[in-house]
């Protein structure tokens, strides 16, 4: 990858490019695979290779992914990789105009819907994972009374903890490892 760390998305054009349902699936799949061809990704999302290639080019136009070095001797294969270790999208970057706020809201809803779908698939397939995976998979809710500074501190600590395990997963033996998603939401609410 050419860039380390998370890439901040601050413009509506890039946000809209990523907020397309298929593009977000492709981006997520590419982040998991680290490198893949349009054919490999098309098989994952059950779409035509030509359609996947089109959407990969759109992601590349916005700098979200980039071409990767060939992984095989077949020169016809075009390999792709994420251009950073992830993206960050902050509310503060989209508050200054109603159309930007609307685009941010639509994107956030899409991302959360896809995350919910991922978790529902796990629940539907839970019996196939076995007792050790099911015992290890967290499912909890915690309700606190925090101020914005404390919630931000908690967010930072959670991000640091997730990064620690991300580094561990990339440096360790692949034996017994599976793809794991961690979804953490912290938000104020009134009863």
pLDDT value of residue 173: 81
Whether the per-residue pLDDT at 48 is higher than 60: the answer is yes
Percent of the chain with pLDDT over 90: 80
77-134 pLDDT, tens digit per residue, is 899 999 998 899 999 999 999 999 999 999 999 999 999 999 999 999 999 999 999 9
Distance (Å, whole) CA 132 – CA 39: 33
* Mean confidence (pLDDT) of the chain: 92
Across residues 149-159, what is the average pLDDT?
95
Residue 112 has φ and ψ, to the nearest 5°, of -70, -35
Give the DSSP letter of residue 92.
Answer: G
pLDDT band with cut points at 50, 70 and 90 for residue 73: confident
Residues sharing a CB contact under 8 Å with residue 186, sequence separation 6 or more, in sequence order: 151, 154, 155
Bridge partners (DSSP) of residue 65 are 82
C-alpha separations of 19 from 12, 124, 162 in Å: 10, 26, 24
Query: Phi/psi class of residue 155: alpha, beta or left (left: φ > 0; alpha: ψ in -120 to 50)?
Result: alpha
End-to-end CA distance of the chain: 45
**pLDDT score recorded for residue 4:** 55
Coil, helix or strand at residue 95: coil
Confidence of residue 2 (pLDDT cuts 50, 70, 90): very low
Average pLDDT, stretch 29-46? 95
Residue 90 has, within 13 A of its CA and on its CB side, a CA count of 7
Say yes or no to pLDDT of 46 above 60: yes
């Amino acid at each position: 990858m050419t860039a380390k760390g998370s890439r901040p998305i601050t413009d509506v054009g890039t946000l809209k490019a990523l907020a397309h349902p298929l593009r977000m699936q492709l981006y997520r799949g590419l982040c998991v695979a680290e490198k893949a061809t349009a054919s490999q990704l098309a098989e994952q999302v059950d779409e035509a290779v030509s359609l996947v290639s089109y959407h990969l080019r759109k992601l590349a136009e916005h700098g979200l992914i980039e071409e990767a070095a060939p992984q095989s001797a077949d020169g016809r294969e075009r390999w792709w990789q994420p251009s950073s270790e992830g993206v960050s999208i902050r509310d503060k970057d989209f508050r200054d105009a109603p159309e930007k706020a609307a685009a941010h809201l639509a994107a956030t809803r899409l991302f959360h819907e896809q995350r919910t779908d991922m978790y529902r698939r796990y629940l539907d397939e839970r019996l196939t994972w076995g007792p050790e995976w099911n015992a290890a998979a967290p499912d909890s809710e915690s309700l606190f009374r925090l101020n914005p500074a404390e919630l931000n501190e908690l967010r930072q600590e959670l991000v640091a903890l997730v990064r620690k395990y991300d580094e561990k997963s990339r440096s360790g033996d692949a034996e017994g490892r599976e793809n794991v998603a961690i979804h953490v939401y912290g938000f104020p609410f009134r009863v």
